[in-house]
Amino acid sequence: MASRETKDIAIAWIALSVAFALAFSGLNLFGIISGSFFQAIPLFILMLPVSLFVVGTAFVFHELGHRNVARHFNYVAEFRKWNQGLMIALGFAFLIGAIFAAPGAVYIGGKKKKKWDDQTKWDQDYPEYAGNSMNELGLISVAGVIINIILGFIFLGLLFFVVPLINSFQFILSLVFTLGYTINFVLAGFNLIPFGPLDGKKVMQWNPIIWAVLFFPILFWYLYFF
């Protein structure tokens, strides 16, 4: 029987994928008003499986990054979906074609006791990180963002260096890889916004320089290339 965490990840994954597919296909309220709604349906059907794959990698690996780093520091950590956030994401995507990517979060509980002999090599080599809650929180918060940035560059590399070498399915591969880097960079940038419960606030409080090095290049990309 699937755990609650697995079910929450699956529900959030599907809802967020539908939201991205709605936004990128133009299947929204503006489409109804402009009369292009029905023309957008075939594009939505094409975009949905692509979005499921791309959002799945971006979202799932982002959350697992938070969770696994938290568990590395011996915290109890599990992902929980945010129902209101999922409804807002679907509503924004359908009404105005915008993305609100806050499907849930990794909730971190107390630490489990662990003997020194059971510590990882990281803990032994860098005890200042293992024993400092601010450093732990900063590393946990930045982990998901860094994974999205890495995935974004992987998809970008595939788009520019692999697609030109392939003769078949170039359109589909270009679509997948373009959405791959776009969604990962959007999720990274959105989560780095330094307000509310987003990762950016915790990362900035932990290390403003690391926050700035990560956030401003993505902001520049968003403003000039997105």
From 5, 63, 78, 136, the catalytic residue: 63
Domain range enclosing 41: 4-224
The structure tokens 């402009």 sit at 34
Amino acid at 45: I
Amino acid at 79: F
Q: What is the pLDDT of residues 105-156, one digit of tens each?
A: 898 877 765 554 455 554 555 554 555 678 888 999 999 999 999 999 999 9
- Asked if 63 is an active-site residue, the reply is yes
206's tokens: 């932990």
Percent of the chain with pLDDT over 90: 50
- In terms of Cβ atoms closer than 10 Å to its own Cβ (0-12, 13-18, 19+), residue 93 is buried
Work out how many domains the chain is built from and give that number.
1
Kindly give, in sequence order, each residue whose CB lies less than 8 Å from that of residue 199, ignoring residues fewer than 6 positions away: 141, 142, 144, 145, 191, 192
Query: How many residues does this entry show for the chain?
Result: 226
